[in-house]
Structure 1
Amino acid sequence: MAVNYECRHCRMPLGRFENDQVPEYRLGLQFLTPEERKRIISYNSNGDVTVKVICEYCSQTLDSHPELALLSNPLQ
C-alpha cells in the first residue's frame, strides 16, 4: 500500500510514501473528522490511498483570486 498526495485542483502529484516508509499514524490522517476524511481521502482498488491537498501554485492563485473558489472544479 502506498499513500499518494495530489493537488485537488490541478491533480499534480505532490508526493508518495510507501507503507513501510512512514507509519499511517505519522501522517496525521487520524485527526481528520469523518467528513474531512470523505472529502480528502480516497481508496484505490489496488490498496493505495490518495490524499487530496492543495499545491503551492493553486494555493497562491486562490489567495490572489479568491473568487476562483466559487467555480466548480470537474476534477474534484
Structure 2
Amino acid sequence: MPIVYICRHCGQKIGKLDQQMVDASMLGLDQLSAEDMREMIHYQDNGDMEIKSICESCEESLGSHPQYHELDHFIQ
C-alpha cells in the first residue's frame, strides 16, 4: 500500500512511500487524535493512503504571513 503525502494547502505531492507494510507508530500516526486522523488521512480507490501535510513552500508562506493560518486554503 503506497503512502502519498500531499500538501493540504496547494495540493502538491510532497513524497511517496512504497512499502507493503508500515507501522503507524513509525510514521507518528499513533500520536494523532481521532479528529486529526479523519482530517489528514484518506484512502484512495486504488488502495493508496493519502496523508495531508504541508510542503516547504506553504510553510514558508505561513511563516511570512501568519494571518493565513485563519484560512483553510490560502493558495488560489
TM-score by length of structure 2 reads: 0.83
CA distance in 2, matches of 1:28, 1:69: 23
Query: Which residue in the other structure is 2:23 paired with?
Result: 24
Structure 2 letter corresponding to 1:36? D
Tell me, yes or no, if structure 1 residue 34 matches structure 2 residue 34: yes
Query: Which residue in the other structure is 2:47 paired with?
Result: 47
CA distance in 1, matches of 2:42, 2:74: 16
TM-score by length of structure 1 reads: 0.83
Aligned residue pairs, count: 74
In structure 1, list runs of 5 or more residues that go unmatched: none
CA distance in 2, matches of 1:10, 1:44: 19
- How far 1:69 moved relative to its partner? 2.2
Structure 2 letter corresponding to 1:10? C
Percent identity, aligned pairs only, is 36
CA distance in 2, matches of 1:58, 1:29: 22
- How far 1:65 moved relative to its partner? 0.4
CA distance in 2, matches of 1:72, 1:49: 22
Over the aligned positions, Cα root-mean-square deviation in angstroms equals: 2.0
